[in-house]
Each structure stands twice: as structure tokens, then as C-alpha cells.
Chains A and B, each alone.
Chain A
Amino acid sequence: MSLLETGFHIFDKVGISNYLFLSVLLFCIGLFGVLYRRNAIILLMCIELMLNAVNLMFVSFSSYLGDSNGQLFVFFIMVVAAAEAAVGLAILVSIYRNTRNTDVSFLDNLKG
């Protein structure tokens, strides 16, 4: 059923630093996307990607140290991400209704 019953443990095979580098790389890809893209939908998706990178780091530390607090933090991060996606997409729809565009560089009313 689960990998636990077979006596398998990932950290017998892979060091924790590999997982940390993977999540750092994912976070930086998300950061690059947030800085580079102008489409608001893709910006929101890049934020989701960064949240998932943080989740992966939490889970790998939690599994390595045998501490379940980290996995509960991931649970709460998922809750916040779901709420953030719902509100963000609602804002996006109302922006599109006003400007007929999802490009964030059009939203420069406060620029002066």
C-alpha cells in the first residue's frame, strides 16, 4: 500500500540538499515569472508556483526531521493559496470587465 511498509525511505537514497535545491530552483523560476511576465493570470500562476516550492521545502524538512508540524504548515499554506486564488481571480475578472485587458502594465492609474 504505502512505501513505508516496504521499508523504503527516500533519504536513504537522496540527500536532503537535493530536495532543497529543487525547491529553491522552483522558487526562483516563479520569481522570474513574476518579474518578467505582464499577463495577470500568469502572474497569479507564478505565485502559486512559488507557494508550491515553499511547500516542497517544508515537506522535505518535515520528512527528514520526523516532525509533523511542517506538514501541517503546508496544509495551512494550501488553504491560504486557495483563498488567494479565488479572490485574485475575482479581482482579475473585474479588472478585465473595466479595461478589456489582463495586462498589468495598463494598470498605471497611480503613476501620476
Chain B
Amino acid sequence: MLLTLLLETRPNVQFWPFIVVSFITILSALYVVTSKKPVYSVLALIVTFLSISVHYVMLNAQFLAIVNIIVYAGAIMVLFLFVLMLLNLKKETEPVKHISWGIIASISGLLLLFVLVAALVSIDDYIQPGLDREVGLIKNLGQMLFTKYLVPFELTGILFLSAMVGAVLLGKREKKEELS
């Protein structure tokens, strides 16, 4: 109650769910990168995807929020967990790197961050919000997907088929080499 009153009286104040969800997103993304154990990285990445889905819900993109949970958190991350289980990495095989690699990677990341933030810092003055606020609903997206984007939609089917064939072919054990 107090928070809604605060938000109504000061409309320019930062919206607190956005801040909370953004902190969860950034902290779990940092944990994905810095964690020593790959299983913890996968779990932190699932948290990141769920919080990005919350962002999608806040942005009125309900269809993409659901698809994000189903495809990323449901399918891709389960695939990662299965592969981690299959590989059975008992001890930590990742060797200790030189500190210079960390410095180089940090400098590259921070430089890109600096350039992109500098490019986007005054974007609020340059673009105007659109009037249509129902773009994220399934009705509108489906109508567009099956009319304007019909050919790319069919091509994604072919892409999936070829990816499936490639994954099966790559994952198959080569028996001839083992016998000889």
C-alpha cells in the first residue's frame, strides 16, 4: 500500500519490481560466469532465464515469456544437465589460468560495455513510444507468424530437422574404429 502510494505520488521513481528482478538477473549471470562447478552454473543460468521471463511478462510479451520458460529453462537447460551428467567430470579439470587472461577478458568486456552504454545513454530523447500496447499477445504474433513470416517459419522446420540429424550423427558412437 505504501509502495503504491509512493509510486503514484512520484511517477518518475524507479519501479521496484524492475530493480529487484534486474538484480537477480545480473547476480545469477555473474554466478554463471564465475562459478567453479559447472552444475551450479547451469542452475544459475536457469535462474537467469526465469528472471528474464519475468521481465518479458512485465514488458507485456506473454507469449515469449512462456516460450522462454519452455524452450530455454525446460529444454535447453535439461539438455545441458544431461550432458554434464553424461560427461561425469569428477574432479575439476579446468586448469588455473594466468591472471593476464582475466585482465584481458575484463578489459574487453568493460570496453564493449562502455561503448554500448555511451551509444545508448541518451536514447530516451530520441525515440517515441508507440501506441499499440498489445503486440505481445499470442493472437497478434500468430497472425503475423503465419502470414508475413510463413516462409521463415517453414525454414526453421528444415533447420530443426538438419540440427537433429547432425546431433544424432555427431553423438553416434563409431563402432568401426573401436573394433579395428
Residues of A within 8 A of B (CB): 2-4, 9-22, 24-33, 35-39, 41-42, 44-46, 48-49, 52, 55-56, 59-60, 62-69, 71-72, 74-76, 78-87, 89-94, 96-97, 101-103, 105
Contact = CB atoms under 8 A, between A and B. Distances in A.
B123 interface: yes
A85 B68 contact: no
B144 A72 contact: yes
Contact of B75 (A25, A55, A82, A90): A82
A9 B136 CA distance: 12
Contacts of A18: 14, 18, 22
Contact of B121 (A17, A46, A55, A65): A17
A65 B149 CA distance: 20
Q: Is the interface of A mostly helix, strand, loop or mixed?
A: helix
Interface in B107-145: 108-110, 112-113, 116-117, 120-121, 123-124, 127, 129-137, 140-141, 144-145
Given A66-B130, A71-B63, A90 B159 contact: no
A25 B89 CA distance: 31
A23 B180 CA distance: 52
Instruction: Tell me whether chain B's interface is mostly helix, strand or loop, or mixed.
Output: helix
B95 to A, nearest CB: 7
Contacts of A97: 173
Interface of B: 7, 11, 14-15, 18, 22, 25-26, 29-30, 32-33, 38, 41-42, 45, 48-49, 52, 55-64, 67-68, 71-72, 75-76, 79-80, 83-84, 86-87, 89, 93-95, 97, 101-102, 104-106, 108-110, 112-113, 116-117, 120-121, 123-124, 127, 129-137, 140-141, 144-145, 149, 152, 156, 159-160, 162-164, 166-171, 173
B11 A32 contact: no
A90 B109 contact: no
20 contacts: A12-B11, A16-B124, A20-B120, A27-B116, A28-B109, A31-B112, A36-B105, A41-B84, A44-B80, A49-B32, A49-B48, A59-B56, A62-B61, A64-B127, A66-B130, A68-B136, A68-B140, A78-B68, A90-B167, A92-B83
Contacts of B87: 41, 92-93, 96, 102
Contacts of A91: 170
A37 B22 CA distance: 24
Given A20-B120, A45-B80, 6 more contacts: A17-B121, A21-B117, A30-B33, A35-B109, A59-B61, A89-B80
